[in-house]
Amino acid sequence: MSFFEILSVKVKKNLVKINENFEFEIFFEIKKILEKNLNLKVVYIISPKKEENNQELETFQISTKKIGKFRLVLKIRPPNFKGITKENIIGINVILFTIFLKKKAVTNVGYYVSNEEIGNSDNIDNNYFQEENIVRNILENEPRITHFFDY
């Protein structure tokens, strides 16, 4: 029996400019009281080929001191795109939630993020873009969920 289960994740803010905060609502169940809290780390993956561009956006603690079903509303700052080329931003990126217990991954929930340029995209320079001209679409109907059963 697992001690923790994600029941659902809702994207609360979608189809927005890339410089706006992410907002998610996570429903989960604690099935067993644990000595240690869970940690939730949120990472934005810009390029799997250039890991140095990937950014840890936020970390949160999830209390495991009470059994039951709970809701967690997350407001997460956007990535810092300074120094990132337009080529790496436009297209598909990933936002990844990893839940840890004692620094060991328990569950991953990942969403593809489609970034599209709106308005004037005639600029040939791949290094130039304006954040307010790029719209983020989280593909909320297609989460990738991985459970690690080492516990």
For residue 108, give every residue at least 6 positions away whose Cβ sits within 8 Å of its Cβ, in sequence order, or none.
Answer: 96, 97, 98, 99, 144, 145, 146, 148
| CATH code at position 92 | 2.60.40.1490
User: Mean of the per-residue pLDDT values for the chain?
Assistant: 91
Where b means 16+ CB within 10 Å and e means fewer, 6-39 reads beebebeeeeeebeeebebebebebeeebeeebb
Structure tokens at 130: 């304006």
Residue 37 CA: distances (Å) to CA of 25, 58, 61: 19, 16, 6
pLDDT(150) > 80: no
Model pLDDT for residues 98-117, shown as the tens digit of each residue? 999 999 999 999 999 999 99
Q: Which residue range is the domain that position 141 belongs to?
A: 4-147
pLDDT of residue 125: 62
- Mean per-residue pLDDT for 115-138? 80
Model pLDDT for residues 18-39, shown as the tens digit of each residue? 999 999 999 999 999 999 999 9
pLDDT band at 47 (very low <50, low <70, confident <90, very high): confident
Report the SS3 class of residue 132.
Answer: helix
pLDDT of residue 120: 64
Tally of domains in the chain: 1
